[in-house]
């Protein structure tokens, strides 16, 4: 599954609402303690969480797996503003 644009986040995140909620909650907690939320910090965290929590989508989905900086930036804008 290729995740490149904000519109394409639903195929992964819609199927895993617990993951989505956990990730957004983690970001909100980081923001509340004034942690800098940049794409270079959040992208590897997001990639690691997806790989560990939803490992099966890496191997069963067509097209591979990718979380780009652009997608991460849009995700942050959407959920943290």
Closest by Cα among 34, 1, 22, 11 to 79: 22
Domain count, the chain: 1
Is residue 53 in some structural domain?
A: yes
pLDDT number for residue 76: 87
- Spatial separation of the C-alpha atoms in residues 64 and 55, rounded to whole Å: 12
Sorting pLDDT into bands at 50, 70 and 90, what band is 57?
low
Give the CA-trace dihedral at 74, 53, 13, 15, to 10 degrees: 170
Is residue 26 in some structural domain?
A: no
Is residue 64 in some structural domain?
A: yes
Is residue 30 in some structural domain?
A: no
Tens digit of each residue's pLDDT (9 = 90 or more) over 11-41? 566 677 888 888 899 999 999 999 999 999 9
Is residue 31 in some structural domain?
A: no
**Does position 71 have pLDDT exceeding 60, yes or no?**
yes
Is residue 61 in some structural domain?
A: yes
Is residue 68 in some structural domain?
A: yes
Task: Report pTM.
Answer: 0.69
Is residue 11 in some structural domain?
A: yes
Please tell me what DSSP assigns to residue 62.
T
What is the domain extent for residue 70? 2-16+36-80
pLDDT number for residue 68: 82
């Amino acid at each position: 599954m290729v995740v490149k644009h904000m519109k394409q986040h639903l195929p992964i995140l819609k199927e895993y609402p617990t993951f989505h909620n956990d990730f957004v909650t983690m970001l909100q907690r980081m923001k509340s303690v004034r942690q800098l939320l940049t794409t270079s910090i959040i992208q590897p965290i997001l990639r690691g969480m997806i790989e560990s929590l939803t490992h099966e989508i890496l191997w069963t989905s067509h097209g591979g797996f990718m979380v780009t900086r652009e997608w991460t930036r849009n995700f942050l804008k959407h959920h943290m503003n």
